[in-house]
Amino acid sequence: MFKVLVSDPISEDGIRALLDSDQVQVDQKTDLSPEALKETIPEYDGLIVRSQTKVTKEILECATKLKVIGRAGVGVDTIDLEAATEHGVIVVNAPNGNTISTCEHTFAMLMASARNIPQAHKTLTEGNWDRKTYKGVELKGKTLGIVGMGRIGTEVSKRAKAFQMNVIGYDPFLTEERASQIGIQKGDLDKIYENADFITVHTPLIKETHHLINKSAFQKMKKGVRIVNCARGGIIDETALLEAIDEGIVARAALDVFEEEPPTDNPLVGKPEVIVTPHLGASTSEAQLYVAEDVSQEILNILSDQPFQNAVNMPAVNDETRKILEPYYLLSEKLGEMMIQLAKQPPRHIKISYAGTLTDFNTELVTRTFVKGLLSHYLGEKVNIVNATHLAKQYGLSYSVENTTASLGYSGLISVTLTTDEGEYSAAGTLFDGLGPRIVHVNQYTIDIAPTDRLLYIQHTDVPGIIGHVGSLLGKHEINIATMQVGRKQVGGQAIMMLTIDKALSEEVLGELLQVDHIHSAKNIDL
């Protein structure tokens, strides 16, 4: 039975799939302090949060069983992603469920700022009938600048078009073609600042977007611009915004989000030119239902080892690709385990080449599985496909991946080279129809062996009688040989022998083997 903790208020109907599952016990504890969360988190396999719970490094360090964090929303800036990845915890979000609600809230803020609705409401409820102060502006014919043309930005642009606004969008991924499909102009920040009567931001809060709208940006804007932020506090520099309002550059600001939430002593809150809402963009019944349904389903999928879509620290693989690649996961993991045991020094670099049909797919998970196999031999269960490449980096182990045409006649081939300070180790594997994974090259010798539990790897000179010696020595020690493969590059030259055996050789037996003339090394390989 898996245990999932819901630590923020989430739609109960939305988590129905989890509540009804007989594989999962759900605990809803929405008033935990960070200390209390640290104490309780070790019990849980899954955690569902909105933006209230801050999933910090310290909490993740205590989360010894945690496999997945579900963010019922888009922004994952309240989760320490690096720490989650390091601890092998998959983070999934619900990127689509609150798009419309947030877009509609943005539009409500835009219109409220055009017509001074909250300010007018306030004066009237205070007993004043003031029609002069609150003269507004029309949207029709005005220019709206949208910074961030992702899901929400795009929906905002559609609604702005319906209001007959001119829209200029800026996004590093916005092409001319897409802009013209949506019916907007593609611009850059300067074009937006120069032309926009309204500006709305819809980017994530990341290093590049922190204080994206700053003092110098405000200096370039049209006098009387109205600005909306329903994305994240911190995209707009609040100090610079305050100055720009005081200087008369910004006529109105409408903010749903703040650098500090809830805002304390924030001079923007209460300023007559500023409309504020307490991070309500996604607060509709519909959005809360959708995001809770989406993360619940993802959590169920992850806990039951089914495909999932919205991991932010893992690549998504569709069902069809997964079916094709799944057998290669086992092969690549075994290759990784084998190669780390073959290497005599710590690896510095891994080069993975994919050939044949594998080049048609996103093989990132195959790569991660290889790295997992390689690391887990020494690091054990703490390594998984979420943190494998991250951990590799921590150990100074770099990797590169390439697609090649050198499939050597196999339908799909994975070739790997490990570089160490004292040389390279290589291996390649494929899938044989009906036979499953096979290792077909080791250190440039051609062989054909299934990566089963226990292998014996021998390097020797190609002379008559070696196979007999090995066979009788293992027989003497009652070690059964299941299969044996010999690979050589030329007659009488260096050769390798790989055996599938039923039990590992003790140090003594390995020692005896090394006494045999022409045997240079022998090694148990545990897979």
Ligand X SMILES: O=C(O)CCC(=O)C(=O)O
Minimum CB distance to ligand X smaller for 227 or for 231: 231
Is residue 202 a contact point for ligand NAI (CB under 6 A)? Answer: yes
261 is catalytic: yes
Neighbours of 485 (CB within 10 A): 17
Helix (H) or strand (E) run with residue 393 in it: helix 388-394
Chain residues 426-465 in contact with ligand X, contact rule CB under 6 A: none
Closest residue to ligand X: CB criterion = 73
Of 123-131, 164-172, 281-289, 416-424, the segment contacting ligand X by CB under 6 A is: 281-289
Minimum CB distance to ligand X smaller for 106 or for 419: 106
Of 32-40, 52-60, 94-102, 297-305, the segment contacting ligand NAI by CB under 6 A is: 94-102
Quickly list H helices, 41-116.
Answer: 57-62, 81-86, 99-115
Bridge-based pairing of strands 412-420 and 423-432 is antiparallel
Round to whole Å and give the CA distance between 26 and 47: 10
Is residue 283 a contact point for ligand X (CB under 6 A)? Answer: yes
Is residue 105 a contact point for ligand X (CB under 6 A)? Answer: no
Contacts of range 178-184, beta carbons closer than 8 Å, 24 or more positions apart? 178/149, 179/149, 182/149, 182/154, 182/157, 182/158, 184/146, 184/157
- Select the binding partner of residue 256 from ligand X, ligand NAI, none (C-beta < 5 to 8 A, by kind): ligand NAI
- Select the binding partner of residue 50 from ligand NAI, ligand X, none (C-beta < 5 to 8 A, by kind): ligand X
Chain residues 95-124 in contact with ligand NAI, contact rule CB under 6 A: 95, 98-99, 102
- Minimum CB distance to ligand X, residue 168 (Å): 24
Of 73-81, 109-117, 356-364, 426-434, the segment contacting ligand X by CB under 6 A is: 73-81
Is residue 199 a contact point for ligand NAI (CB under 6 A)? Answer: no
Round to whole Å and give the CA distance between 523 and 527: 13
- Minimum CB distance to ligand X, residue 235 (Å): 12
The catalytic residue among 12, 43, 58, 261 is 261
Minimum CB distance to ligand X smaller for 255 or for 414: 255
Strands (E), 421-453: 423-432, 436-442, 445-449
Chain residues 123-162 in contact with ligand NAI, contact rule CB under 6 A: 147-153
- Select the binding partner of residue 341 from ligand X, ligand NAI, none (C-beta < 5 to 8 A, by kind): none
The catalytic residue among 71, 87, 232, 368 is 232
> Rounded to a whole number, what is the distance in angstroms from the first to the last CA of the chain?
29
Taking CB under 6 A as the rule, which mask of x and - marks residues 12-51 in contact with ligand X? Answer: --------------------------------------xx
- Minimum CB distance to ligand NAI, residue 330 (Å): 34
| Residue in 127, 172, 270, 409 binding ligand NAI, rule: CB under 6 A | 172
Query: Which phi-psi region, left, alpha or beta, contains residue 427 (left: φ > 0; alpha: ψ -120 to 50)?
Result: beta
**Cβ proximity of 11 and 51 under 8 Å:** no
Tokens of 189: 């920040």
**Cβ proximity of 475 and 526 under 8 Å:** no
Is residue 75 a contact point for ligand X (CB under 6 A)? Answer: yes
The catalytic residue among 279, 377, 441, 460 is 279
Query: Which phi-psi region, left, alpha or beta, contains residue 335 (left: φ > 0; alpha: ψ -120 to 50)?
Result: alpha
- Burial class of 422 by CB neighbour count within 10 A (0 to 12, 13 to 18, 19+): exposed
Of 35-43, 130-138, 206-214, 292-300, the segment contacting ligand NAI by CB under 6 A is: 206-214
Q: How far is CA 18 from the centre of its chain?
A: 23
- Burial class of 22 by CB neighbour count within 10 A (0 to 12, 13 to 18, 19+): exposed
Binding site for ligand NAI (CB under 6 A): 73-75, 95, 98-99, 102, 147-153, 170-173, 202-205, 208-209, 212, 230-232, 256-257, 279, 281-282
Binding site for ligand X (CB under 6 A): 50-51, 73-75, 98, 279, 281-283
Please give the positions annotated as active site. Answer: 232, 261, 279
